[in-house]
Amino acid sequence: MSSASRREPVRAPEESTAHGAASLPWAARVRSSGLRVTKQRLAVLDALERTPHATADQVLAAVRQSLPEITVQSVYTVLHSLTDAGLLRQLDLANSPARYETRVADNHHHAVCTGCGRIEDVACAVGHAPCLTPADAHGMAIRVADVVYQGLCADCAAQDAGAAGTPSPRDAHQG
């Protein structure tokens, strides 16, 4: 299902905190989205709350800690139903399998380390969607602008700087 046909995030007046996290318990949010509350849905939401930006395989591994019988297909089904209901956001990043997060109640972007793949949330400078307006929208009503910053995290930048100061074996032999 395309992101354009997905429902808006389920929100309650007291729902958002500074990081867009929900104050309502997951069961209440699942119920208010029109879905049935199941242990599989709650386990997936709990896993993603603990490990944001996780892939389906990472979610499966985390959920199997509490539900060892859960199947790969069940995890994918739950991820898609929760995304369609607006309880999860699917991230489609370059050169990466789809990732999921529970932070849906605010407009934010992502910074991806090109060295290690670490993903961090980045607050939107404008604060509301869409935060960018295209020069030509080609007749589309733009609702969201997804921004992905790419660079090196502090750890990878330090390793990169350290490696730059160390002569390569080839350079050492050319003296």
43, 114: one domain: no
48, 128: one domain: no
Q: What is the pLDDT of residue 167?
A: 54
97, 113: one domain: no
Range of the domain at 70: 1-105
Q: How confident is the model at residue 23 (pLDDT cuts 50, 70, 90)?
A: low
Q: Is the peptide bond before 130 cis (omega within 30 degrees of 0)?
A: yes
- pTM, two decimals, is 0.74
- CATH classification at residue 137: 3.30.1490
Domain count, the chain: 2
> In the predicted model, what is the mean pLDDT of residues 133-138?
88
Is residue 171, in this structure, part of any structural domain at all? no
> In the predicted model, what is the mean pLDDT of residues 80-109?
93
Least confident of 46-55, 95-104, 124-133: 124-133
Q: How confident is the model at residue 175 (pLDDT cuts 50, 70, 90)?
A: very low
pLDDT at 131 over 80: no
> In the predicted model, what is the mean pLDDT of residues 89-109?
92
The DSSP secondary structure of the chain, one letter per residue, reads: --GGGSPPPP--TT---TT---SS-HHHHHHHTTPPP-HHHHHHHHHHHHSTTEEHHHHHHHHTTT-TT--HHHHHHHHHHHHHTTSSEEE--TTS--EEES--SS-EEEEEETTT--EEEEE-SS-SS-----S--TT--------EEEE--HHHHHHHHHHHHSPPHHHHTT-
- CATH classification at residue 6: 1.10.10.10
